[in-house]
Chain A
Amino acid sequence: MKRFILAFIPAFIFIFLWGWFYNGVLLKDVFAEAQSLFRPREEMMGLFHWIIIGQAGLTLSFVMIYASGFAGGGIAAGVRLGIMLEILAISARCAIYATQPFSAKLLVLVSIGGFIEMIVTGVIVGAIYKPAPARSSSP
């Protein structure tokens, strides 16, 4: 549990900071082009806690999947998991592109950021989370 929390906290901090820097600063102008599809800024700030809960839930699920099926593989396993989860997210973005009038440019840029986010999260979780050593029954 201690290792779980130790892996969760830095991964969550990274996802929060990367989300703010990439989507809020670097892609600010690209998002502004699709302003009609987003809430006004003041309204978004009023719902900011949903962003925190969403990012915490994503991080928690990532660490749980890693801990229960990939632990022991280290950084390489974390990166593999991150890549697979991001490919699943991109496939979901194809459905978003099919149904919502977002530009392809916006979704490609968001997907590039998502890849970086999930790979670095995999590195962090893989480097920090180690499975508990097997207990020996011999005296």
Chain B
Amino acid sequence: MNWKKFFFAFIAAFIFLFVFGFLWYATLMHDAHREVATLLRPEADLKSYFGWLALGQFVMAFFFTLLCARYVPGGRAGAGAMLGILVGLVYAGPHLISFAVQPLTFKILCGWVAGAVIQFAIAGAIVGAIYKPATGHIMYVKERSR
């Protein structure tokens, strides 16, 4: 594991997840979320729970970067994005289940599913582009003369 590159990839993923989460879920979907206000904490309470939100995204960024480093050990934005799409689809499953059991609107369901896939696809591309294995771990095989 190239820990230096891992660290930079993790920080970049964390910043992206945080900013995307704010723009997508808190800004773009704000009105949609207000349609089910009884399912949400009052806006005044949200500040006191902000630490949980930040902690969740910190842990998410760390383990997503770890998953990318193991899944795409050679790096590459495209392969990272592909993994991100699959992880986003893993998240989409519980969102569909939440829709079945909680009185969420179909608009919220679509927003959450699209948000998860886009968020992880871009985060995967960022991690894939930044993370590279340590050069000492790359083996070069000399071609045998014929």
**Residues of chain A at the chain B interface (Cβ within 8 Å):** 19, 36-39, 43-44, 47-48, 50-51, 53-62, 64-65, 68-70, 84-85, 87-95, 97-101
Q: Is the CB of A50 within 8 A of B60?
A: no
Q: Is the CB of B87 within 8 A of A65?
A: yes
Partner of B50, one of A87, A98, A100: A98
Q: Is the CB of B101 within 8 A of A39?
A: yes
Q: Is the CB of B59 within 8 A of A87?
A: yes
Contacts of B92 in A (CB 8 A): 54, 57-58, 61
Q: Is the CB of A85 within 8 A of B87?
A: yes
Most A C-beta atoms less than 10 A away, residue of B55, B82, B89, B94: B94
Q: Is the CB of A57 within 8 A of B89?
A: yes
B46: Cβ under 8 A from any A Cβ: yes
- Overall SS of chain A's interface: helix
- Overall SS of chain B's interface: helix
Q: Is the CB of B66 within 8 A of A84?
A: yes
Across the interface, name the chain A residue whose C-beta is closest to B95.
Answer: A54
Q: How far is the CB of B68 from chain A (nearest CB, A)?
A: 10
Across the interface, name the chain B residue whose C-beta is closest to A45.
Answer: B100
> Which of B4-12, B36-44, B128-136 is found at the contact surface with chain A?
B36-44
Partner of A47, one of B52, B55, B60, B99: B99
Q: Is the CB of A61 within 8 A of B97?
A: no
CA of A37 to CA of B36 in the docked complex: distance in angstroms? 10
CA of A80 to CA of B16 in the docked complex: distance in angstroms? 25
The interface bits of chain B over 72-112 (1 if a CB of A lies within 8 angstroms of the residue's CB, else 0) are 10000000001100110111111111011111000000000
Task: Identify 17 new A-B residue pairs, CB closer than 8 A, beyond the known A37-B102, A94-B56, A100-B41.
Answer: A39-B100, A47-B100, A51-B100, A54-B94, A54-B99, A58-B90, A58-B94, A61-B87, A61-B93, A69-B71, A88-B64, A89-B90, A91-B58, A94-B52, A94-B53, A100-B39, A101-B40
Q: Is the CB of A94 within 8 A of B59?
A: yes
Q: Given A98-B46, A98-B49, A98-B53, is A90 in contact with B59 using a C-beta cutoff of 8 Å?
A: yes
Q: Is the CB of B63 within 8 A of A65?
A: no
The interface bits of chain B over 101-145 (1 if a CB of A lies within 8 angstroms of the residue's CB, else 0) are 111000000000000000000000000000000000000000000
Contacts of A44 in B (CB 8 A): 100-101
CA of A90 to CA of B89 in the docked complex: distance in angstroms? 16
Q: Is the CB of B63 within 8 A of A87?
A: yes
CA of A87 to CA of B94 in the docked complex: distance in angstroms? 14
B67: Cβ under 8 A from any A Cβ: yes
Across the interface, name the chain A residue whose C-beta is closest to B26.
Answer: A99
CA of A28 to CA of B52 in the docked complex: distance in angstroms? 26
Partner of A50, one of B53, B87, B99: B99
